[in-house]
Amino acid sequence: MADLVLFNGQVWTIDPDLPEVSALAISHNRILATGRNSEIKKLIGPKTKVIDLKGAFILPGFIDAHTHFLTGGFALQSVKLRDCRSREEFIGRIAAKAAELPTGSWILNGDWDHEQFEPPELPRKEWIDPVSPNNPVCVNRYDGHMVLVNSLALKLARIGKETISPPGGEIVKDPVSGEPTGILKDAACQLVYAIIPEPSMEEKLAAVRAALNEAASHGVTSIHDMSDLDTYEVYDVLRQRGELTARLYVYDQISDIDNFLKMREKIGAGHPFLRLAGLKGFVDGSLGSSTAYFFEPYVDQPGTHGLLASHMYPEGIMEKRLIEADRAGCQVAVHAIGDRANALILDLYQEVFEQDKPRDRRWRVEHAQHLRKEDIARFGQLGVIASVQPYHAIDDGCWAEKKIGAERIKTTYAFNSLLKSGATLVFGSDWTVAPLNPLSGIYAAVTRRTLDGEHPEGWIPEEKISVEEAIKGYTINAAYAEFTEKEKGSIKPGKLADLVVIDKNILKIKPEEIMSASVLMTIVDGRVIFDRLGKEGQSQ
Tens digit of each residue's pLDDT (9 = 90 or more) over 146-194: 999 999 999 999 999 999 999 999 999 999 999 999 999 999 999 999 9
pLDDT of residue 378: 98
Task: Check if the beta carbon of residue 468 is closer than 8 Å to that of residue 507.
Answer: yes
CA gap 392, 478 in Å, rounded: 18
Whether residue 89 lies inside any domain: the answer is yes
| Residue whose C-alpha is closest to residue 169's, from 148, 190, 142 | 190
CA gap 240, 219 in Å, rounded: 23
> Would the pLDDT of 425 be above 70?
yes
Do 84 and 28 lie in one domain? The reply is no
Do 23 and 123 lie in one domain? The reply is no
CA gap 174, 154 in Å, rounded: 14
In the predicted model, what is the mean pLDDT of residues 94-119? 93
Do 156 and 86 lie in one domain? The reply is yes
Question: Which pLDDT tens digit goes with each residue over 36-55?
Answer: 999 999 999 999 999 999 99
pLDDT of residue 356: 84
Question: Which pLDDT tens digit goes with each residue over 100-112?
Answer: 999 999 999 999 9
> Higher confidence at residue 381 or residue 534?
381
pLDDT of residue 198: 93
pLDDT of residue 536: 40
Q: Which amino acid is at 114?
A: H
Do 38 and 124 lie in one domain? The reply is no
Which of 193, 215, 232 is the last residue in one of the domains?
193
Whether residue 184 lies inside any domain: the answer is yes
Question: Which pLDDT tens digit goes with each residue over 283-309?
Answer: 999 999 999 999 999 999 999 999 999
CA gap 94, 523 in Å, rounded: 38
CA gap 483, 401 in Å, rounded: 37
pLDDT band at 537 (very low <50, low <70, confident <90, very high): very low
Residue 225: burial class (beta carbons within 10 Å; 0-12, 13-18, 19+): buried
Other beta carbons within 10 angstroms of residue 49's beta carbon come to 15
Which DSSP string corresponds to 77-96? TSEE-TT--SHHHHHHHHHH
Which of 154, 177, 193 is the last residue in one of the domains?
193
pLDDT of residue 144: 86
The strand pairing partners of 147, in sequence order, are 140, 184
Do 21 and 86 lie in one domain? The reply is no
pLDDT of residue 430: 96
Give the CATH number of the domain where residue 15 resides.
2.30.40.10
**Helices assigned H by DSSP within 87-164:** 87-100, 125-128, 151-157
DSSP run (H or E) holding 534: none
> Would the pLDDT of 534 be above 80?
no
pLDDT of residue 252: 98
Contacts of 234 by beta carbon, 8 Å cutoff, 6+ apart: 70, 201, 204, 205, 208
Do 48 and 127 lie in one domain? The reply is no
CA gap 38, 23 in Å, rounded: 9
Whether residue 456 lies inside any domain: the answer is no
Do 107 and 170 lie in one domain? The reply is yes
Whether residue 84 lies inside any domain: the answer is yes
Do 21 and 55 lie in one domain? The reply is yes
Whether residue 409 lies inside any domain: the answer is no
Residue 194: burial class (beta carbons within 10 Å; 0-12, 13-18, 19+): exposed
pLDDT band at 118 (very low <50, low <70, confident <90, very high): confident
Question: Which pLDDT tens digit goes with each residue over 225-235?
Answer: 999 999 999 99
Whether residue 28 lies inside any domain: the answer is yes
Check residue 116 and report its DSSP letter. G
Total structural domains within the chain: 2
Whether residue 222 lies inside any domain: the answer is no
Do 128 and 32 lie in one domain? The reply is no
> Higher confidence at residue 82 or residue 222?
222
CA gap 358, 340 in Å, rounded: 26
Which of 171, 193, 215 is the last residue in one of the domains?
193
pLDDT of residue 538: 45
Do 188 and 83 lie in one domain? The reply is yes
Question: Which pLDDT tens digit goes with each residue over 472-528?
Answer: 999 999 999 999 999 999 999 999 999 999 999 999 999 999 999 999 999 999 999
For the chain, the maximum distance between any two Cα atoms, rounded to a whole number of angstroms, is 79
CA gap 315, 301 in Å, rounded: 25
Query: What percent of the chain shows pLDDT beyond 70?
Result: 99
pLDDT of residue 336: 98
Do 40 and 89 lie in one domain? The reply is no
CA gap 100, 203 in Å, rounded: 18
pLDDT of residue 496: 98
Whole-prediction pTM: 0.90
Task: Check if the beta carbon of residue 278 is closer than 8 Å to that of residue 331.
Answer: yes
Mean residue pLDDT across the chain:
96
Give the CATH number of the domain where residue 159 resides.
3.10.310.70
Question: Which pLDDT tens digit goes with each residue over 314-354?
Answer: 999 999 999 999 999 999 999 999 999 999 999 999 999 99
> Would the pLDDT of 540 be above 80?
no
For residue 505, the enclosing domain spans 4-61+495-539
Whether residue 387 lies inside any domain: the answer is no
